[in-house]
Amino acid sequence: MRSPHFLDPVTSSDRNWRVAVVCGGTSAEREISLQSGAAVIAALHGRGHLVRAIDPLYQPVREVDWNRFDVAFLALHGTVGEDGVIQRQLDSLGVPYTGSDAESSALAFHKVSAKVRFQQAGLPTPPWIPIREVTQPICDRIARQLGFPVAIKPVAQGSSLGVTIVRERAELPIACERALSYSEEGLAERAIPGEEWTVSLLDDEILGAIH
């Protein structure tokens, strides 16, 4: 089996690839992932590539014959998709894949780990308090130190699942319980009003922005 590597855009742009689009999976974001996978498959077919969908719910990646593919295109969302787990499995199999490596994925998916590294890099990030259980003292601390509005969210989840914007103290217990139903740990973060932008990059090239 090939050793893991990132694809070279210089050598990969002029050929048709055998692509396994990995989508679906077992996370709470399964349906969103299936939609992403369908869009990726349509786009790759349109470019002339040979494409097959792989759903880890029915076919674990360790059971796939990867000699039939050149690359795995990861369209998974949430846990076991964006958190480094699937990346680590593909690394062990020597399968090249799209996106960030296992360590980067794991650090970015865990909101507290990501925020700590943002601070270490000198990047501004809203103040936060970890939530491990729902108690009156933790709710009082959130209200006192962060104020309102405050965002209550799972520490490891995507697509805004389990996220609540809380505007008064009485709403905190239910919001914290909701966040902890999606993840073993939650996060209270001061809500920052403003605009959201998504900017895509490939190597050093900016591909575009979505507002």
Check whether domain 124-190 has CATH 3.30.1490.20, yes or no: yes
Count other Cβ atoms within 10 Å, centred on residue 190. 17
CB of 183 within 8 A of CB of 156?
Answer: yes
Distance CA(145)–CA(122), nearest Å, equals 22
Domain residue spans of the chain: 9-109, 124-190
pLDDT over 60 (residue 207): yes
Task: Give the separation between CA 22 and CA 24, rounded to whole angstroms.
Answer: 7
CATH numeric code, 9-109: 3.40.50.20
Does residue 8 carry a pLDDT above 70? no
Mean pLDDT of all residues in 50-62: 97
Give the pLDDT confidence of 133-174 residue by residue, as tens digits.
999 999 999 999 999 999 999 999 988 999 999 999 999 999
Asked if the model's pLDDT at residue 178 lies above 90, the reply is: yes
